[in-house]
């Protein structure tokens, strides 16, 4: 039943990588290449994986299809950094080259214990019935473990869980392991879809990172999507949070505007008694392009999140596809919480990108004649009121005080995407990070975020207020490239 066609081992990768030299050169010329965000050299990137800091070095692995802009068979790409700002492109580290992951080394995470990094990921296997003309005959999602002493060299793959180890009432969609440690025990969360199409998170328990026993299933009372991808469980300031990406939520008012969502439940889990309480789900991001985030704790004790600046199964085509690449990752963001609400803020390290500085008020802003695609803008609002801020030609951030609606609106530069919204009583501050073809907009100390790709042509980079009734002070910085 197995299908080998799409597998790729390290040798095949290296051969093809050589052949791709001119394609890499071509992609580099694209003016939409980002200046301080991570992106694939060629091809496709999706979820960040295996995030960790080990012996000082930050490791970022990610879902990667280097030779296919539409993201077919996934490898784990790899980048490293010593300062979380400048990254070194490494060689991919995990290939779909075994019986357990031949249709993709899917998402997973890293867990550091003593001097070893343990990686857990989903080995994806699609079953094809060759006798009946290659009809798709289901899939297997295996839990695979590898370890490394340095983040670059890996042990053999160990197959820890397979379809028979999952609860009977589950479908074959069980993936994206992440580890949580509490009271000398390990808990592994896995995103899942039940047979009756209820999204949920399965929790396994273990004491040695190898032997995992099924413990419990977390879900909502009322149906909340058919599949929960990429779960992540962690504590922030004594509050537990469960991040996950539900698929299949209906679009309600201005909520859940994307095809799939990404957000969190404040949660309290009593592992011993296998009980839990979930509070309301909140979206982590309200922009057009955000999904599958993962967090890790760095050596300074910061909880850092990186998301995929993209979404699966979209019904429009990103214009970078015809230029040989698609998607990117967000800036690393530090998470804090207040009363169960997560705040996201770009890591302090990003400040090193700041070049020229202009400080002004909203009423004097247009006299500064600002332009550029690569900038940071901090707006401290003294009196909230209506405004329309043009971030570049055809891209606007607007607030309407009477309807309490913040809107990110795109014209041509949205390539088929028009508006995203947040309902907000008041706005106190806005931090905008703009890159050649990306925007990350943080509102009210990062308690709301809008992340989006945006595609402007040359000389459309005029930044101005079209309407400006609020009172605010603005700090504007041009940013350099990494
Ligand atoms: C989320 C996801 C994961 C899966 C991976 C495959 O974007 O679908 O659930 O492991 O991507 O690339």
β-bridge mates for residue 125, sequence order: 140
Q: Quick check: CB of 105 below 6 Å from ligand 1? A: no
The Cα diameter of the chain in Å comes to 72
Report the alpha-carbon distance of residue 270 to residue 196 in Å, rounded: 26
Question: pLDDT by residue (tens digit) across 209-239?
Answer: 999 999 999 999 999 999 999 999 999 999 9
SS3 content of the chain, % helix, strand, coil (to 5): 10, 55, 40
Tell me: do 192 and 255 sit in the same domain. Answer: yes
DSSP letters along 253-289, please? TTBS-SSB--EEEEEEEETTTTEEEE---EES--SSS
User: Same structural domain for residues 318 and 462?
Assistant: no
Are both 353 and 384 inside the same structural domain? Answer: yes
Answer whether residue 3 is part of any domain.
Answer: no
The H-or-E segment that residue 25 falls in is helix 21-28
* pLDDT one-digit tens code per residue, 130-150: 666 656 778 899 999 999 999
Residue 371 and residue 321 share a domain: no
| Structural domain containing residue 78 | 10-346
Would the pTM count as exceeding 0.90? yes
Same domain, 60 and 79: yes
Of the candidates 47, 176, 232, 285, the residue annotated as catalytic is 47
Does 318 contact ligand 1 (Cβ within 6 A)? no
For residues 109 and 49, what is the distance between their CA atoms, to the nearest angstrom? 5
Instruction: Choose which residue among 43, 47, 64, 289 to substitute to test ligand 1 binding: the one with the highest number of ligand atoms within 8 A of its C-beta.
Output: 47
- Which of 346, 361, 386 terminates a domain? The answer is 346
Residue 2 forms part of a structural domain: no
Say if residue 380 is in the same domain as residue 451.
Answer: yes
On whether the CB atoms of residues 105 and 111 are closer than 8 A, the answer is no
> How many domains, in total, are found in the chain?
2
Q: Which residues pair with 188 in a beta bridge?
A: 179, 204
Name residues whose C-beta falls within 8 Å of residue 454's C-beta, 6 or more positions apart in sequence. 391, 392, 395, 410, 413, 414, 437, 438, 439
Q: Which of 326, 346, 366 is the last residue of a domain?
A: 346
Place of tokens 């000389």: 459
CATH at residue 452 = 2.60.120.560
Q: Which residue from 144, 138, 108 is spatially nearest to 123, judged by alpha carbons?
A: 144
Ligand 1 center–CA 76 separation, angstroms: 12
- Our answer on whether the CB atom of 49 is closer than 6 Å to any ligand 1 atom is no
Examine the domain organization and report whether 293 and 160 are in the same domain. Answer: yes
Shared domain for 258 and 297, answered yes or no, is yes
**Residues 406-447: tens digit of each pLDDT:** 999 999 999 999 999 999 999 999 999 999 999 999 999 999
Ligand 1 neighbourhood includes 312 CB (under 6 angstroms):
yes
Q: Is 229's C-beta closer than 6 angstroms to any atom of ligand 1?
A: yes
Atom of ligand 1 nearest to the CA of 230: 9
Residue 132 pLDDT: 64
Q: Is 418 a catalytic residue?
A: no
In a domain, 4, yes or no: no
Task: Judge if 337 and 365 occupy the same domain.
Answer: no
pLDDT (tens digit, 9 = 90+) per residue, 311-362?
Answer: 999 999 999 999 999 999 999 999 999 999 999 999 999 999 999 999 999 9
- 314 part of a folded domain: yes
On whether ipTM exceeds 0.95, the answer is: yes
Q: Which of 346, 371, 388 is where one domain is finished?
A: 346
| Residue 165: CATH number of its domain | 2.115.10.20
């Amino acid at each position: 039943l197995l299908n080998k066609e799409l597998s790729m081992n390290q040798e095949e990768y290296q051969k093809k990588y050589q052949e791709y030299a001119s394609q890499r050169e071509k992609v580099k010329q694209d003016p939409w290449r980002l200046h301080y965000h991570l992106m694939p050299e060629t091809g496709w990137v999706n979820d960040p994986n295996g995030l960790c800091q080990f012996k000082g070095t930050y490791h970022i692995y990610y879902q990667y299809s280097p030779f296919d802009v539409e993201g077919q068979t996934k490898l784990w790409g790899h980048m490293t950094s010593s300062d979380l700002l400048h990254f070194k492109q490494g060689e991919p580290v995990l290939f779909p080259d075994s019986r357990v992951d031949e249709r993709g080394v899917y998402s997973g995470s890293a867990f550091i214990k003593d001097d070893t990094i343990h990686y857990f990921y989903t080995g994806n296997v699609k079953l094809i019935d060759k006798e009946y003309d290659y009809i798709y005959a289901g899939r297997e999602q295996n839990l695979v473990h590898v370890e490394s002493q340095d983040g670059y060299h890996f042990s053999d793959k160990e197959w820890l869980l397979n379809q028979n180890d999952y609860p009977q009432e589950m479908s074959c969609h069980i993936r994206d392991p992440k580890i949580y440690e509490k009271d000398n025990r390990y808990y592994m969360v896995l995103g899942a879809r039940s047979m009756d199409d209820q999204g949920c998170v399965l929790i396994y328990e273990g004491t040695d990172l190898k032997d995992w026993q099924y413990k419990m299933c977390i879900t909502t009372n009322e149906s909340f999507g058919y599949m929960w991808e990429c779960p992540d469980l962690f504590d922030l300031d004594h509050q537990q949070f469960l991040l996950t990406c539900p698929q299949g939520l209906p679009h309600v008012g201005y909520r859940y505007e994307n095809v799939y969502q990404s957000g969190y439940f404040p949660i309290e889990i009593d592992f011993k008694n296998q009980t839990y309480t979930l509070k309301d789900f909140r979206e982590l991001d309200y922009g057009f392009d955000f999904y599958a985030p993962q967090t890790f704790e760095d050596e300074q004790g910061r909880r850092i999140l990186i998301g995929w600046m993209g979404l699966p199964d979209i019904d429009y085509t990103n214009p970078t596809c015809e230029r040989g690449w698609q998607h990117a990752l967000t800036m690393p963001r530090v998470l804090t919480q207040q009363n169960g609400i997560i705040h996201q803020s770009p890591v302090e390290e990003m400040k090193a990108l700041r070049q020229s500085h202009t400080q002004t008020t909203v009423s004097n802003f247009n006299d500064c004649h600002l332009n550029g695609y690569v900038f940071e803008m901090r707006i401290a609002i003294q009196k909230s009121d209506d405004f329309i801020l043009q971030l570049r030609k055809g891209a606007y951030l607007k607030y309407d005080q009477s309807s309490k609606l913040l809107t990110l609106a795109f014209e041509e530069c949205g390539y088929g995407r028009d508006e995203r919204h947040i309902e907000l009583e008041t706005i106190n501050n806005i931090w905008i990070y703009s890159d050649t073809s990306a925007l990350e907009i943080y509102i009210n100390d990062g308690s709301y975020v809008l992340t989006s790709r945006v595609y402007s042509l040359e000389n459309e980079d005029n930044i101005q207020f079209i309407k400006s009734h609020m009172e605010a002070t603005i700090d504007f910085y041009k940013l350099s490239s990494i």
